[in-house]
Amino acid sequence: MAEFKIIHDSIYGTMKVEPLELDLMETLEMQRLNGIKQLGLSYLVFPGANHTRIEHSLGTGHLAKRISDVLTLEKPEKDLLVAAGLLHDVGHGPFSHTLETTLEQAIGMNHMDLTKKIITGEEDNISKEEREAFPHVPRVHEVLEEHDVKPDEVANLISTPHPSHSTTLHMDKGQEFFNEKGYLTQLINSPIDVDQIDYLLRDAYYTGVAHGIIDADRLVQTFAIHHNDLVVDRKGLSALEGMFVARALMFSSVYFHKTVRIAELMLARAVENWKGLDPSSIQRMVDSELMSSLTEQGGFQKDIAMKIKYRKLYKKAYVGKKKDLTEEQAEGLKRFEDPRERKKVERELCKRTSAPEGHVIVDYPPAEIKRTEPRISKTDIRVLDNGKVRFFKHVSDMGRMIEARDAADWLVMIAADRPYVEKVSKIGKDLLF
């Protein structure tokens, strides 16, 4: 293996990729990400959004390396962070987050749980046949062990959202703090981790949505470690505010764009209504394999695949925005956190409008956001101000506003296949409430 290689990246320019990364990149688990679009079906609205999970993974690993240098971390910690950044998405199914909820309900774990088990070698998302075709290619955990990086430590960084703070409480300048190393986890899984910094930069670039651009260089240069916690120096406050604003705007304008959302839900319903499906086989697929399988299945699955291929998508029949609903109505929608309730209403809407099963969709974004992006409303970043640590929302009014802001512009939406939109629009609201 070469000592290093240079990769040319759309966001960071030239990236130096060293032996640990090169060996991980050669694994089947990582190469599989070449076939998975970073933004699922967003290309149907934003034509440039054809970038893949492997680009994002490389970028996240690169950022982890840059920040490790800024913080002057020793090689063992740097290798740990780079490996976690590179591997944090190996458990994704086809079209990234599009099928997250559907597959989690079917196999009992989300992509983060699966990622952790892939890294430790407990699970494998490469089929037995494909694994046997490349018998000399090591698995992820074997590569990590060869480079003296512990797989379970990498997995824990990815899957543990906050340090446990189980150690001794200390005092400094009148402030209490815990002495365990929180910064490692915070760099990989927190409201300001390398994953989010990269996906905001990358997704803004490929979608062309300018308000997703953030001042990552300024932000990274103001990172510091204070009592084993990751902090942002107050000099980086404006860059931090910009990142949170960009994140909020990208969710409402890209990730939860109505048309993107409808396309994603169509695909999810095609998988959900697939009789006799082995969900584990879907989890192992890449985008093109899923679309081919849907087409081969025929019936409703083929119909959805064709509609997505030629962008003949369902249309919205009703949209309920929070500001237009009563408190009682908004509270009543929480029942859709249980997918059985959502399916019940969808079936009733199909029955009353003579639409075939699957041709009417009910969307309740808060339930999805809880599963796919629990960080969206969190701003618990520590800001170092004249030697004292304060939380972001205590030094910036923007922190409180971001926490109160909804990720999607609507609280509930009903979409339907085009021949049934008018009928559904007449009865949809009444049936919901």
Q: What is the mean pLDDT of the chain?
A: 90
Give the SS3 label for residue 415. strand
Residue 112, pLDDT score: 86
Percent of all residues in the chain with a pLDDT value above 70, rounded to a whole number = 92
What is the rounded distance in angstroms from the CA atom of residue 187 to the CA atom of residue 230? 7
Q: What are the DSSP E strand ranges found in 234-374?
A: 315-320, 360-363
Indicate the pLDDT class of residue 303, thresholds 50, 70 and 90.
Answer: very high
Residue 169, pLDDT score: 43
Residue with tokens 């699955």, as numbered in its chain:
301
pLDDT tens for each residue of 66-109 = 999 999 999 999 999 999 999 999 999 999 888 888 888 777 77
- From the candidate CATH numbers 1.20.1440.230, 1.10.3210.10, 3.40.50.300, 3.40.30.10, the one assigned to the domain spanning 5-162+169-250: 1.10.3210.10
What is the rounded distance in angstroms from the CA atom of residue 253 to the CA atom of residue 405? 14
What is the rounded distance in angstroms from the CA atom of residue 51 to the CA atom of residue 40? 10
* Structure tokens given for 177: 């703090």
Average pLDDT for 159-179: 51
pLDDT tens for each residue of 341-376 = 999 999 999 999 999 999 999 999 887 776 666 677
Indicate the pLDDT class of residue 255, thresholds 50, 70 and 90.
Answer: very high
CA trace torsion 399, 248, 101, 342 (10° rounding): 90
Q: Which residue type sits at 105?
A: Q
Q: 111 and 91 in contact (C-beta within 8 Å)? A: yes
Is pTM beyond 0.85 here?
yes
The residue that leads in pLDDT, 380 or 48, is 48
Res 384 pLDDT > 90:
yes
CA dihedral over 402, 403, 407, 411, signed as positive or negative:
negative
What is the rounded distance in angstroms from the CA atom of residue 41 to the CA atom of residue 95? 7
Res 178 pLDDT > 60:
no
Q: 117 and 125 in contact (C-beta within 8 Å)? A: no
Percent of all residues in the chain with a pLDDT value above 90, rounded to a whole number = 73
Q: Which residues pair with 229 in a beta bridge?
A: 226
Q: Which residues pair with 171 in a beta bridge?
A: 176
Q: Which helix (H) or strand (E) holds 9?
A: strand 5-9
What is the rounded distance in angstroms from the CA atom of residue 64 to the CA atom of residue 195? 9
